[in-house]
Amino acid sequence: MNNDCQSCINQFIRYLQVEKNASSLTIEAYSKDLEDYKFFLAAEGIHSPLLVDMKEARLYFNRLFEKKYDRSTAARKISAIRSFYRFLKREEQIDRNPFAVSSLPKKEKKLPRFLYEEELEMLFDSFDITKKLDQRDLAIFELLYATGLRVSEICRIQQDDIDEELATLLVKGKGGKERYVPIGGFAMEAVAFYRNHARNELAQKKKEPASALFLNNKGDQLTERGFRYIVNKRVKEVSYTLQISPHDLRHTFATHLLNRGADLRSVQNLLGHASLSTTQIYTHVTKDRLKEVYDKAHPRAEKNGGS
């Protein structure tokens, strides 16, 4: 087996693609971090990652510190390399993971960005449904907000994944996991209108139409890059000060559900989170509402004044 650095990286990337079914963005991130690591090894005169020990691992930590990466970026890079060596150990190419005992820099706690309902209404009202691309883009925004899907998940939606009678969607999530999520009335209406009008026109641009729900102006399946471009473009058209990503609409979905009384476990299932702790980050915005409920409901929440 070829033990040079690039060969080992290629084996790991194939493992992520085939066995882990990782998204294209995950593959891109791992590839970039491992490419940087390869340059580090070359600079140190190490031509195979199999020769790295804890001494070189500590040296790599120091290099990250010297380059003044923020904690989040440094943690991501170390996590990628740790996973890389975990794979090499699983393949019995090494006996010990040199990054196994290295502690990750603590990430800065950043609260997720979300939109207020008034801001969403402003976005939804900006679409002109007499235009075919506006029909498509409104369906995208409504569906993102109605389901909390990741961009990678909405890209994979096929026509047959939507059950119009039950108003549900089959979602293909991370690691090949599938889940069903309900679709709200506004989103269902927007998607149905797009399918019956704009999508038919877009699909006619190809001799063999794509089976994906969302198509670009050439009739091909929309890519993740295309979705992000659409969201950024639409937001800029509405407001110069409003800055959101598709993932912020996912945050908004979870935040609004919790604010309206949804339980954390249900939101976890809708988002497709493996761990409840991942979902708990959204509870930050519910504190004011919980305090209000507590004050109204608890018999001894407030002490009455008077003499």
Please check whether residue 151 is in contact with residue 227, taking contact to mean a CB–CB distance below 8 angstroms: yes
Residues 181-193 have pLDDT tens digits of 999 999 999 999 9
Is 178 among the domain residues?
yes
Catalytic residue among 234, 250, 251, 256: 250
* Per-residue confidence (pLDDT) for residue 275, from 0 to 100: 73
Residue 12 has pLDDT above 70, yes or no: yes
Catalytic residue among 38, 136, 150, 256: 150
Average pLDDT score over residue span 12-38: 92
Mean pLDDT of the chain: 85
* Per-residue confidence (pLDDT) for residue 260, from 0 to 100: 83
Confidence bin at 24 (pLDDT 50/70/90): confident
Catalytic residue among 86, 132, 179, 273: 273
Q: Are residues 75 and 146 in the same domain?
A: no
Residues 117-172 have pLDDT tens digits of 888 888 899 999 999 999 999 999 999 999 999 888 999 999 999 999 999 999 98
Q: Are residues 252 and 157 in the same domain?
A: yes
The Cα-based distances of 257 to 121, 147, 167, 251, 266 in angstroms read 16, 11, 18, 10, 10
Among 205-214, 231-240, 245-254, where is mean pLDDT lowest? 231-240
Q: Are residues 128 and 65 in the same domain?
A: no
Domain boundary among 90, 105, 131: 90
Average pLDDT score over residue span 96-107: 72
Confidence bin at 306 (pLDDT 50/70/90): very low
The tally of domains found in the chain comes to 2
* Per-residue confidence (pLDDT) for residue 70, from 0 to 100: 79
Helices and strands, counts by H and E, the chain: 14, 3
Is 299 among the domain residues?
no
* Per-residue confidence (pLDDT) for residue 33, from 0 to 100: 94
Q: Verify whether residue 240 is a known catalytic residue.
A: no
Q: Are residues 81 and 153 in the same domain?
A: no
**Which domain does 72 fall in, by range?**
5-90
Q: Verify whether residue 250 is a known catalytic residue.
A: yes
Catalytic residue among 37, 60, 145, 282: 282
Q: Verify whether residue 15 is a known catalytic residue.
A: no
* Per-residue confidence (pLDDT) for residue 203, from 0 to 100: 93
Angle between helices 224-238 and 246-259 (to 10 degrees): 70
Domain boundary among 40, 75, 90: 90
Average pLDDT score over residue span 107-125: 76
Q: How many percent of the chain have pLDDT more than 70?
A: 86
Average pLDDT score over residue span 194-207: 93
Half-sphere exposure of 303 (CA within 13 A, CB side): 2
- Count of CB atoms within 10 A of residue 103's CB? 8
* Per-residue confidence (pLDDT) for residue 307, from 0 to 100: 40
Q: Are residues 277 and 149 in the same domain?
A: yes
Residue 8 has pLDDT above 90, yes or no: yes
Q: Verify whether residue 247 is a known catalytic residue.
A: yes
Q: Are residues 73 and 132 in the same domain?
A: no
Q: Are residues 86 and 224 in the same domain?
A: no
In 3D, which of 271, 137, 128 has the Cα closest to residue 262? Answer: 271
Q: What CATH number is given to the structural domain containing 59? A: 1.10.150
Q: Verify whether residue 174 is a known catalytic residue.
A: yes
Distance CA 224, CA 24 (A): 9
Average pLDDT score over residue span 199-219: 92
Locate 156 and state its tokens: 């994979």
Is 105 among the domain residues?
no
Catalytic residue among 20, 132, 247, 284: 247
Residue 113 has pLDDT above 90, yes or no: no
Average pLDDT score over residue span 29-42: 93
Q: Are residues 80 and 123 in the same domain?
A: no
Q: Are residues 127 and 242 in the same domain?
A: yes
Distance CA 304, CA 95 (A): 68
Is 108 among the domain residues?
no
Average pLDDT score over residue span 262-271: 85
Catalytic residue among 174, 179, 197, 228: 174
In 3D, which of 70, 101, 76, 91 has the Cα closest to residue 9? Answer: 91
Residues 45-95 have pLDDT tens digits of 998 999 998 888 888 988 888 888 877 788 889 889 999 999 999 999 999
Collect all residues with Cβ–Cβ distance below 8 Å to 202 and sequence separation of at least 6: 132, 136, 215, 216, 217, 219
Q: Verify whether residue 67 is a known catalytic residue.
A: no
